[in-house]
Chain A
Amino acid sequence: MSRIVRTAADILYPAILIFGLYIVAHGHLTPGGGFQGGAVIATAGALVIVAFSYKEVTGWLTKNVLMGQEVIGLVGFIGVALLALAFGQVFFFNYLAGSGSLFGMPVPYGINAGELNTAGVLPLMNFAVGIEVWGGLTIVILYMLSGLEKEGC
């Protein structure tokens, strides 16, 4: 792509990354969550893949790292859910909500100013799913591009 597109992608990449991470981190307060934020971050990867050539991108955006992200996300999601068994609860129980520890501030019923330090295991699961979707959607684009690579992309 032309120099204008490359410069725009350079400037936009961190901004899109920060916006997606904001959507993931505020999943329990505002509309959004892990899936949506991960998809937003994946658009940043798609933008860079479109703006630069395949050889330049795969120098630092490798498939191994992305596949590792995906696996870590899914395993982390199941692990957070399984950790409830260690607290003597059932699978997927929200053992951190209202406990006063990490993400454990109690929330009053009704309208309140959103506090980031609430909702128990939901932010952890949001982060896990966000990392998984981020790696997964980016690696799909990368694999499709590598399939076309022989044609001279």
Chain B
Amino acid sequence: MKKTLVVAASLLILAAFFGVMAMTLTFGSPKMTDMDDYFLRHGQEQTGSNNECTAVVFDFRGFDTLGESTVLFCAIIGVALMFRKMQGGEEYEDE
């Protein structure tokens, strides 16, 4: 009985929270648009890319993509390490 009350109360609080958020926040019209406008106006002539996403990901924020590639590399090294160990013992396959 007490458990259901707690669950109902927390659900109500969550619903009120998200309801107030959805009512008051305005989506699609941010206050600061300087950076977006810069990307949209100069992205095509500065990078020559029609796809604005690629222009941002690989050119304007290239360091971010470098970090992503490094994270992927580290994850794969971790998987390789784990499953090589699971294969058992000192024998390492060399193919």
Using A126-B54, A146-B83 as known contacts, say yes or no to A97 and B47 having CB atoms under 8 A apart: yes
B14 on interface, CB distance cutoff 8 Å: no
Identify the closest chain B residue to A115 (Cβ). Answer: B50
Question: For the complex, would chain B's binding face be called helix, strand, loop or mixed by DSSP majority?
Answer: helix
CB of A132 within 8 A of CB of B95, answer no
Q: How many A-B residue pairs have CB under 8 A?
A: 121
Distance of A94 from chain B, by nearest CB (Å): 5
Segment at the B interface, from A8-16, A44-52, A98-106: A98-106
CB of A77 within 8 A of CB of B83, answer no
CB contact between B51 and one of A31, A74, A94, A149 (< 8 Å): that residue: A31
List residues of B whose CB falls within 8 A of some A CB.
Answer: 41, 44-51, 53-55, 57-59, 62-63, 65-66, 68-70, 72-73, 76, 79-80, 82-84, 86-88, 93, 95
